[in-house]
Structure 1
Amino acid sequence: MIKKLVIVFVAFFALQMNAQEGTASPYSFYGIGSLKFKGTVENRSMGGLSIYTDSIHVNLRNPASYVGPDLKTFNNENRPVKFSIAASHNSINLKADSGSEKTSATTVDYVAMSMPLGKKLGFGLGILPYTSVGYKLEDLNSNNQVVNRYRGEGGLNKAFVGFGYQITDKLSAGIDFNYNFGTIQNTAIAFLYDDGIPIQYQTREENRSELSGLNINIGLTYKTKVNDELELQSGVTFSPKSDITSRNTRIFGTILINEQNGQELLINSINADLETQGLDKTNLTLPSRFSFGTGIGAPRKWFLGAEYTFQNTSEFSNPIVTIDNATFVNASSIAIGGFFIPDYNSFSSYWKRATYRAGIHFENTGLEINNEKINEFGISFGVGLPVGKWFSNANLGLEVGRRGTTNQNLIQENFVSFQLSLSLNDRWFEKRKYN
């Protein structure tokens, strides 16, 4: 059954990825968009904590998770094939000194799978939207008239294949090879007035960037018994700095705007000569990223951990776009979270077999606008519900948080995110007992 679901979900994801608008955040105006992927639903339900690994869930933040101990259910002969897909709905209340507005976005977040390739080797692959651009902004003059109107859409997607290797019973390592690709489109309209009355024609600038590039993510996990009851888990990941090629086009146009419905009618246009400026093909620098975390718990009962992430965002550059009032500085985040299972082997109560998760995170996004840091804070909750066999489960997550500030005429986002994932397991490789 899982093999059929893989085909259906991959086809569905491929269609949705090009159609969906993954964010409604005004802060996606900067750089290559807002970070869309923050871990699996299980990770996000624990405040973004990604150091915990087990044999029945896909962990997309650390490729060392592709390997692990064989299951007793499988007679200690192999591990399950794991498949996961997730979607989310984000509701955002945008608050500014001048007022507030509500917006929302529903997206498919990732589809991935991992499988054993032997006693000590594992393999993973998947695809996910990594960053997302989706904004509609306006500048107003003292007469409350529109001076500039900005729109943007698109983002950066990531397709990956990875391998994990069990070095010892306690230590495993892994590496992901990522292909980054996507399109970002930005539109800016400048409005002119004659004695307070809009002139007949306005000017529109359209920028389009086709992105592509490669990078890697390296991970380590370490597990050891503290005593008969407790187990210590630690994880480390590192992504070195890399470049993404951006092929750019820019079109200037004269437009006529329908006052009734806002539709834009193109009168004439001209392509900008970016080649002469050396901007037809540019390199964007993706910053390096390092994370480390550790935690302690009783296997199949509870876990509590913390994780610190540092991203050298000051390395980011995009020659095609320069914004005077915004800069990138180094980013960092702290996640604290864990889970609790009342009785994973209970026959009398379904809810005792469920996994209950919670967490909290604090983040400096690395973006500064008008000398104000754009920070994020969130608390999250989740539950993993057993479904089917081989320890498959459905995971529900809820995250409530705040991003940004109203200082310096900026916008504060108060967001609520609902997430759903299916974590499905199956046994594809089974040793023959008889010939």
Structure 2
Amino acid sequence: MIYFLLLLMGFSQETFSNSLYSKYGIGILRPYAGASYFGQGNIGIAAYSPIALQYLNPASLAYLTRTRFEGSFLFERANVKLNNNTGKFSDSGFNTLHIGIPMADGYALGFGLMPYSIIAHTYEDVVDGEYRSELEGTGGLERAFFRLSGMIGKKFAYGAGFDVYFGRLERTWRVYFDNATYNKTEDVTSTTAVGMSGHVGFLIELHQKLHIAGMINAPASLNTKTQTDYVFRTENDITEGEIKLPLTQGYGLNFKPNSRFTLLADFEASNWGSLAASEILGAKTTDTKRYGVGIEFVPSRKFNESVWKKMSYRLGFNMGNLPYLVAGEKVNEKFVNAGLTLPYNAFNSQMEIGLEYGKRGDANQIGSEENIIRFIFGIASGEKWFVRPERRRKD
């Protein structure tokens, strides 16, 4: 008997792979701070900017000075080790969309779309001379959001919004028998989910150089409809249920010792361990914690400087754990980040490039691990024609 794992790599939206651990629950979660902050540790609860959008804290919108549009593209590759077998996963495509619009009296609104989780894996189990089984997973949850932000005085920003979670999570199990007298079997379990929740945040200036911030994502209950098709038996079952998402809270620091440097630090915690297996598609869960630090260096913001001096350079680090238990143990992950911003159009627009490299899991502890590299490319724009005429703003 020979047992081995075959990991398949693909690039189209229909056939791609992301992570071995995406087979659990709702898949791999997608924390994302924004294209401008990905290279700074993919953090930024206390980050704010008049020209950059961030996803973690709605209060940051209050600092926008003109309408901003941001979109990003993601490429990810994972080298996987499972027992004595190795393989590769790869994924690429659209990542996020975010629009922020400043309004009168210090208010601002924003809306966008981002992935919340992703399921993407394909592998085989072969029993020599008997059968070959294949397990494939696709889909995930998306998060659409709408938020409002405002200021109290000049040092306290607040924000709140609502989220719509939706998606399709599909897992297919196939068995091919070596004996021609047996027919191929295929079971397809497809779950559609939709639900709403909300989020709030604040950002306070304690000192000209120091800001603190906090945010809360409220728990969510997603209504689900699961259909299981048994192809060999030409039968199907349809059941209704719920997927639960837990409370998440996070806190951040933003320290600017001078005009060139910005230091960020974040902490996030989610009580995934409070969920029953029946509330998260059969997965065994554990609470999650995530830590991160990052630094940004901007040599100059003068229009007449060289390109290299106008660029922003970032480094960061983040670590945490997945919400699932594997072999009864937590799955930890650690990443280092680097990134840069290339401004153009008199600093009204910018191109963002971010890299992240790290490790997820531990082959010695849980029998599997992944070495991961991610690449983010983003475009942010705030053209002058987005700004309302001065006369109209005075009305």
Under a length normalisation based on structure 2, what TM-score does the superposition of the two structures give?
Answer: 0.89
Match status 1:250 vs 2:228: yes
Tell me if structure 1 keeps the 8 A contact 2:107–2:148.
yes
In structure 2, distance between residues paired with 1:245 and 1:211: 6
Structure 1 stretch displaced more, 359-368 or 328-337: 359-368
1:88-107 per-position Cα deviation (integer Å, ceiling 9, x unaligned): 11111111222211221112
Amino acid at match of 2:184: Q
Cα separation, partners in 2 of 1:123 and 1:349, compared to 1, 3 Å: same
Equivalence for 1:382? 339
Tell me if structure 2 keeps the 8 A contact 1:284–1:316.
no
Equivalence for 1:212? 194
Q: 2:291 aligns with which of 291, 310, 334?
A: 334
Tell me if structure 2 keeps the 8 A contact 1:136–1:150.
yes
1:250-286 per-position Cα deviation (integer Å, ceiling 9, x unaligned): 11122xxxxxxxxxxxxx51112x4xxxxx1101110
Equivalence for 1:10? none
Equivalence for 1:235? 213
Q: 2:359 aligns with which of 402, 418, 423?
A: 402
Tell me if structure 1 keeps the 8 A contact 2:19–2:120.
yes
Equivalence for 1:24? 18
CA RMSD of aligned residues (A): 2.4
In structure 2, distance between residues paired with 1:213 and 1:327: 22
In structure 2, distance between residues paired with 1:350 and 1:145: 63
Q: Which runs of 5+ in 1 are unaligned?
A: 1-17, 70-78, 255-267, 275-279
Structure 1 stretch displaced more, 327-336 or 389-398: 389-398
Equivalence for 1:67? 62
Q: 2:154 aligns with which of 154, 169, 179?
A: 169
Cα separation, partners in 2 of 1:146 and 1:304, compared to 1, 3 Å: farther
Pairs within 5 Å for 1:348-359? 348-359=305-316
Pairs within 5 Å for 1:253-332? 253-254=231-232, 269-272=234-237, 274=238, 280-298=239-257, 300-317=259-276, 319=278, 323=282, 327-332=284-289
1:118-153 per-position Cα deviation (integer Å, ceiling 9, x unaligned): 122100011122211111133345x59656421110
1:147-202 per-position Cα deviation (integer Å, ceiling 9, x unaligned): 64211101111111110011221111101211111111111124566xxx475213
In structure 1, distance between residues paired with 2:388 and 2:191: 44
In structure 2, distance between residues paired with 1:113 and 1:380: 25
* CA-CA distance at 1:389 after TM superposition: 3.3
Structure 1 stretch displaced more, 52-61 or 198-207: 198-207
In structure 2, distance between residues paired with 1:116 and 1:135: 41
Please state whether the residue corresponding to 1:432 is helix, strand or coil. Answer: helix
Cα separation, partners in 2 of 1:86 and 1:35, compared to 1, 3 Å: same
* CA-CA distance at 1:117 after TM superposition: 1.6
Q: 1:180 aligns with which of 165, 171, 176?
A: 165
Equivalence for 1:48? 42
In structure 2, distance between residues paired with 1:390 and 1:432: 24
Amino acid at match of 2:185: T
Please state whether the residue corresponding to 2:60 is helix, strand or coil. Answer: helix
Please state whether the residue corresponding to 1:60 is helix, strand or coil. Answer: coil
Match status 1:86 vs 2:72: yes
Please state whether the residue corresponding to 1:345 is helix, strand or coil. Answer: coil
In structure 1, distance between residues paired with 2:347 and 2:220: 39
> For the pair shown, which has the larger CA radius of gyration, 1 or 2?
1
Amino acid at match of 1:180: Y
| Overall identity of the aligned pairs, in % | 21
Amino acid at match of 1:210: T
Tell me if structure 1 keeps the 8 A contact 2:189–2:229.
yes
In structure 2, distance between residues paired with 1:308 and 1:120: 28
Equivalence for 1:103? 89
Q: Which runs of 5+ in 2 are unaligned?
A: 1-11
In structure 2, distance between residues paired with 1:357 and 1:321: 36
In structure 2, distance between residues paired with 1:169 and 1:388: 29
In structure 1, distance between residues paired with 2:223 and 2:47: 34
Amino acid at match of 2:50: S
1:209-252 per-position Cα deviation (integer Å, ceiling 9, x unaligned): 111000111111112435xxxx1021211012110011111111
In structure 1, distance between residues paired with 2:129 and 2:346: 61
Amino acid at match of 2:33: G
Equivalence for 1:9? none
Cα separation, partners in 2 of 1:243 and 1:375, compared to 1, 3 Å: same
Please state whether the residue corresponding to 1:45 is helix, strand or coil. Answer: helix
Please state whether the residue corresponding to 1:221 is helix, strand or coil. Answer: strand
Amino acid at match of 1:327: K
Equivalence for 2:9? none
Tell me if structure 2 keeps the 8 A contact 1:184–1:209.
yes
